[in-house]
A and B are shown apart, each in its own frame.
Chain A
Amino acid sequence: MSQTVTIQCGERLSIERVESLYSEMETAIRDAADIELAAGQVQFCDTAGLQLILGLFIRLQINSQQLRWAEPSEVIYETSALLGLQDRLGLPKRAV
């Protein structure tokens, strides 16, 4: 079992979507080795959204699974910086 599951973050990585993302992630943790977050479309994210990813990231680290970001959008960097989470989510360093 070494496949990667991609989770689509959509345009809004925010509180109204976290319940459904959470179920998707639960399944992915069980079924996959690694998880990829397709986050290029994200135009808005908030505390609940990023907190969920933090929880996911911690879980995967404990499980020795990988979390990969696929082209995280600018807004993810900005919001995570405002919440002090910029170094906690496994975000790739930004190419300046």
Chain B
Amino acid sequence: MPSILAVDDSASMRQMVSFTLKGAGYQVKEASDGVEALAEAKRARYDLVLSDVNMPNMNGIELCKNLRQLGDYKFVPVLMLTTESAGDMKMQGKQAGATGWIVKPFNPEQLLSTIKRVLG
């Protein structure tokens, strides 16, 4: 099953995302900010990175830019979890190389149906 790296500084969001994805059979690793996620991404290869935008230490946009620098992550889908439905944040995300975004709030079903757009 594909493996997913879930990055969010909010424990409840992380748990919800992780629980949902594991329930659907994905392997999930959690990270609480960009720095942690980047270290984890270097350690193992994930098939998808789901990341919050606003996080301490390294935000989601920076994380995405950094991931795209890694050979292994040049084409790996990166989805931003964002509350900004306005274009600005999406543009920033796209410019950083993100594949797409999921607008918060979302429910587990929306999450699962959305990630099928980049996995499998």
Contact = CB atoms under 8 A, between A and B. Distances in A.
Contacts of A15: 75
Interface residues of A, number: 3
* Chain A binding surface, main DSSP class: helix
Contacts of A14: 75
Contacts of B75: 14-16
Interface in A1-39: 14-16
B74 interface: yes
Nearest to B75: A15
Q: Interface size bucket, B side? A: under 10
Interface in B73-93: 74-75
A34 to B, nearest CB: 31
Contacts of A16: 74-75
B88 to A, nearest CB: 28
A14 B74 CA distance: 12
Interface in B53-87: 74-75
A62 B67 CA distance: 40
A74 B81 CA distance: 34
Nearest to A44: B120
A16 B70 CA distance: 12
A16 B75 CA distance: 7
Interface of B: 74-75
4 contacts: A14-B75, A15-B75, A16-B74, A16-B75
